[in-house]
Amino acid sequence: MTLLDIRGLNVYYGESHILRDVDLNVAAGEMVCLIGRNGVGKTTLLKTVIGLLQQRSGDLQLEGRELTGRPPHARARVGVGYVPQGREIIPQLTVRENLLLGLEALPGGLATNRHIDPLVFELFPILEKFLARRGGDLSGGQQQQLAIARG
């Protein structure tokens, strides 16, 4: 099953043509890495997928659902996430509170989603041990795990 399907994607900054006819297909369960030197469009591609940038042409689908034209919050609600390099956690909140904050993007928000998926603790077992610890008290690597888990 195709998770993410990008076809003929063209993205501009002003008149600068940054992404030219990009095709990318990611199957469910597959891991893909974007590798390249500075300035070749890796971040532009990710910002386009999450809706911070709009493409001029091309198709962008998640599990067969068209993402084109949807704002970032609507894309988050259907499962599109982005974890920036800077560990954007809230240091004053506990690990549990940071994880619950990530659930706010789901349909119904925290009013209907108060359960942290057990997969989070399978992938990042240290987070379960530190649920009551403030995010700012974690090591840098642990903070990055928290940021990824919160998604």
Q: Give per-residue pLDDT as tens, 72-83.
A: 989 988 888 887
Partner residues linked to 26 by β-bridges: 4
> Does position 11 have pLDDT exceeding 90, yes or no?
yes
Percent of the chain with pLDDT over 70: 93
Confidence bin at 5 (pLDDT 50/70/90): very high
Give pLDDT tens digits for 15-57.
Answer: 999 999 999 999 998 988 899 999 899 999 999 999 999 999 9
Q: How many angstroms separate the CA atoms of 4 and 77, rounded? A: 15
Percent of the chain with pLDDT over 90: 64
Q: How many angstroms separate the CA atoms of 41 and 13, rounded? A: 11
> Does position 111 have pLDDT exceeding 60, yes or no?
no
Helix or strand or coil: residue 35? coil
pTM for this prediction: 0.70
User: Could you tell me the domains of the chain?
Assistant: 2-77 (3.40.50.300), 95-150 (no CATH)
Q: Where are the alpha helices (DSSP H) in the chain?
A: 42-50, 72-77, 95-103, 109-112, 118-123, 125-129, 140-150
Burial of residue 38, with CB atoms counted within 10 A of its CB: 0-12 exposed, 13-18 middle, 19 or more buried = exposed
